Amino acid sequence: MGLNKKSVDDINVKGKRVLCRCDFNVPLKNGEITDENRLVAALPTIKKLIADGGKVILCSHLGKVKTEEDKKTKTLAPVAKRLSELLGQEVKFAADPEVVGPNAKAAVAAMKDGDVILLENTRFRPEETKNGEAFSKDLASLADVFVNDAFGTAHRAHCSNVGVAEELRKEGKPAVVGYLMQKEIDFLGKAVENPVRPFVAILGGAKVADKLNVISNLLEKCDTLIIGGGMAYTFIKAQGYSVGKSLCDDTKIDYCKEMMDKAKKLGKKLLLPVDAVAVKDFPDPIDAKVDTQVVDITAIPDDMEGCDIGPKTAEMYAKEVASAKTVVWNGPMGVFENPTLAAGTLKVAQALADADATTIIGGGDSAAAVNQMGLGDKMSHISTGGGASLEFLEGKELPGIAAADEK
């Protein structure tokens, strides 16, 4: 995948209508935004376009929109209000249920250089997620330039990130990436294509199935692959041990054996847990008090399940991270939402924070874990897209990146 993309620094937007696809998919509670990280992350690109005298038209999706009822709670109106406060200037909200309707068209026609408007949730149009031509053309009709700054949806080919770029290209109009997208490409791309070694990859989370291709691709790229979280138990079972009530995907045991063989053939280190923190009953609610027992990984009792890596494993993983120069981490080491079962994830997070290395957190739960532990600012880069960063690490071409002009 070509990673040398034109960015907002390579174009002149003065007096031009700039359609900027952001990721404003923020959590809302009673119409109030409960986490505005994604809004803050979008500000540098928006401010640059304002400063350069562009007419800035922002668009984004918000959640899934399946019914008319969904539209009442999934409007981007609260985002326009909060963005106005963050930017210190009005962000005019174009409230068209069809997204590009009379309000949007009138608002765009009346724009002066440096003005900002926000379109309604792009998923109010059902064809958005199918990359339908009519909606792509509607979006393109508003713009002279397209900027994609939404890495979180880069692995999907939708109207608002791919279709619109293709329509504008037919007219010889530029499609470039914003600063947030550029940073993701720089960090993740370099880690996968040209890492400073030793390169250690850490994969956790519950399901092996989600990470199959990532495991295979990263084994070819990294020096050491560390496996933790619920997915580790399928590997343990593949080694011939009993895993009690632990998460295990019996359909993937042969695959895990293949991966252990692949690591051997390639001369790569594949590290698996040597001990586990086990519980008799999974905590309910998830943060409830829970009785734990540290057990050897080869001796998990039949009536217990592993819910975190044990102290010996955490120590071994931390030591491996300490000698690394590039670390990519995707997926927690255990049930980190429970304070008693978060020790393994915390130990690994702390090791990354202390490491003299480029440390990249692949969005999703690992990002939540690192931020929850107050270590976010100690990492080189925290990805804004869980699914997108996983597909990047699989070595797949991401449609949202591919759609931007090459330098």
Instruction: Work out whether strand 224-227 and strand 269-271 pair parallel, antiparallel, or are unpaired.
Output: parallel
Q: Which residues contact 187 (CB under 8 A, 6 or more apart)?
A: 358, 360, 380, 381, 383
- The closest of 194, 190, 185, 192 to 404, measured between CA atoms, is 185
Q: pLDDT tier at 1 (50, 70, 90 boundaries)?
A: low
For 109-162, how does the pLDDT look when each residue is reduced to its tens digit (9 = 90+)? 999 999 999 999 999 999 999 999 999 999 999 999 999 999 999 999 999 999
Q: What pLDDT is stored for residue 266 in this prediction? A: 98
DSSP 8-class letter at 5: B
DSSP calls for 201-236: EEE-SS-SGGGHHHHHHHHHH-SEEEE-STTHHHHH
Choose the catalytic residue: 169, 183, 207, 325: 207
Instruction: Work out whether strand 55-59 and strand 17-21 pair parallel, antiparallel, or are unpaired.
Output: parallel
The order of strands in the sheet holding 305-309 is: 292-296, 275-279, 305-309
Q: Which of 102-106, 230-234, 309-313, 364-368 has the lowest mean pLDDT?
A: 364-368
- The closest of 379, 352, 78 to 202, measured between CA atoms, is 352
Range 373-387 average pLDDT = 90
Tell me the sheet residues that pair with 28. 33
pTM of structure: 0.87
Active site residue 63: no
More confident residue, 306 or 152: 306
For 37-47, how does the pLDDT look when each residue is reduced to its tens digit (9 = 90+)? 899 999 999 99
Which letter, b or e, does each residue of 238-261 get, where b requires 16 or more Cβ atoms within 10 Å of its Cβ?
beeeebbbbbbbeebbebbeebbe
Above 70 in pLDDT, residue 395?
Answer: yes
Instruction: Work out whether strand 275-279 and strand 292-296 pair parallel, antiparallel, or are unpaired.
Output: antiparallel
Range 328-340 average pLDDT = 95
Max Cα–Cα distance, the chain, nearest Å: 71
Tabulate helix, strand, coil % of the chain (nearest 5).
Answer: 45, 15, 40
Mean pLDDT (the chain, rounded): 95
**104 to each of 98, 100, 363, how far by Cα in Å?**
10, 6, 33
Q: What pLDDT is stored for residue 385 in this prediction? A: 81
Q: What pLDDT is stored for residue 2 in this prediction? A: 59
Active site residue 244: no
Highest mean pLDDT, choosing among 26-30, 186-190, 382-386, 400-404: 400-404
Above 70 in pLDDT, residue 221?
Answer: yes
For 269-280, how does the pLDDT look when each residue is reduced to its tens digit (9 = 90+)? 999 999 999 999
Choose the catalytic residue: 54, 163, 364, 400: 364
Active site residue 38: yes
Q: What pLDDT is stored for residue 363 in this prediction? A: 72
Q: What pLDDT is stored for residue 367 in this prediction? A: 87
Q: Domains along the chain?
A: 8-180 (3.40.50.1260), 187-393 (3.40.50.1260)
Choose the catalytic residue: 5, 17, 21, 38: 38
Active site residue 82: no
Choose the catalytic residue: 169, 387, 395, 396: 387
More confident residue, 3 or 81: 81
